[in-house]
Every structure is written in C-alpha cells, then in structure tokens.
Structure 1
C-alpha cells in the first residue's frame, strides 16, 4: 500500500435531468453503506483505512431509470487505488452519459476522465 493512510471516496450526482432520480447502493465485503437517493450536485462521501491484511474493494450499483451500472469505485490494486495514490481521493461524477473520475475533490472539467458509459 502507498503512504496514504486514509482514502476518501466521493460520489457526486451530476445528472441534470432529475427525472427519473438517480439511486445507488455501495458496499465492500465488510461494510454495507446502504442505498442513496441524491439530488443534483449532492456529494455522498465515505472514508476508510485500507486493510493491511487483504485487498480493500468498494463497489457501487447505480440505477437511473431503465439504466444501471455496477463497478468498483475503489480497489487497492486498481480502480482508484493506483490513480488516487498521491491524494487519497477518489472522485466519481455521475452524468447522463456515464461515469467520470478524478483524484481530487471538486475537480474542473479538465481533470475529469470519462471511465465508462451506462
């Protein structure tokens, strides 16, 4: 593991068309973070200390009307683990056309990278 002791994950609702509303569920092997029903611009944030004995993985399942997508929002060896190595921050912005990532809080559009569509 890197020198970062605490990881912070942000999931921000950037869906301009709030009908239907976005909803998502996040969990790891050990922690169920529950269901979330955000509003435009809201930032669901959670933090944790990665395990030294096993790989830490958090995943979320997103639903927006008839669309859904599930993926790892953090994994020590990938996802945000490598990309957030210097900052300890995983920032995910959910938009109509997919999911965008940055390794800083409140990034400008220039720092966001589209990781996947719905």
Structure 2
C-alpha cells in the first residue's frame, strides 16, 4: 500500500508540474530570459554610460557603453530565487541610479512570450520594452 501511495504522489506531483508549465511556461523554474540594457543617449560620445550589474551570486562586472552599445545576458529562473533578481547601477556624468534590471515577480509576465527584457537608458530616464519597438518609460534618473 505504501508503494502505491508513493507512486500516486509522484504521479500527482509530475502532473501538477506539467500542467503548470503548460499553463504558464514563463513561470516555470528553468525558463530562460534575455536581458539587454542599451545606451539610448543621443549624443554622449565624449562621456560613456557606465553600467555595473550583479545578482545575489553573480557579479557580472562593469562596462562603459558608448552610444547604442549594450550590455546583455541570459538567465534561467530557479526554484530558490538565487538567479531571479539582477540589479544594475548606472552612472552618467554626475547622475547615478540603481535599478532592478530583472526581477521575477515583476518581469515574468511583462517580458512577453519571447522572454525578452530590454532597457533603453536615455537622458530623461529608463525605458522598458519586450520587443525593442514599443518603449515605455518606467522611471526617471
């Protein structure tokens, strides 16, 4: 009887995981997302946009981005949340801003079907897009 109950429990859990992945595959741990931060300034060739990004267990380092340059990475969501939150610090001239470049509760839906999370950093603020055609301003410097 214990073996049958164990088998039923395992089958039930497997069915639940399969059902959830079909229902909302972007919420399933192990789903890959592509994150991209673009220097969207119109004229800053003499002063680059400096970016530094990290997650709890992954310091990706910094870069100096010239006009239209980008900093991008891919990530896979996890059960434990260790790779589910990426923070970037941006510096341009005397301006400095830290922001969540990717955060599971906020981004699993808005990054869209293709799981593309793009940011364009501009003179007046930070814009988000999941297709790099339609941009929406999320916040200012």
Normalised by the length of structure 2, the TM-score is: 0.74
Residues 1-118 of structure 1 aligned to structure 2 (within 5 Å) = 2-4=24-26, 5-18=31-44, 19-54=46-81, 56-78=84-106, 80-104=107-131, 107-108=132-133, 111-118=134-141
CA-atom RMSD, angstroms? 1.6
Where has structure 1 moved over 4 Å in runs of 4 or more?
none
Q: Which has the higher contact order (CA 8 A, sep 6+)?
A: 1
User: Which runs of 5 or more structure 1 residues have no equivalent in the other structure?
Assistant: none
Query: What displacement does 1:45 show?
Result: 1.1
The count of corresponding residues between Structure 1 and Structure 2 is 113
Higher Cα radius of gyration: 2
Q: Deviations over 1:66-111 (max 9, x none)?
A: 1111110111101x2331142211000011111000012xx22xx1
Q: Select the structure that is richer in strand.
A: 1
User: Which runs of 5 or more structure 2 residues have no equivalent in the other structure?
Assistant: 1-20
3-state DSSP class of the match of 1:82? Answer: helix
Q: Select the structure that is richer in helix.
A: 2
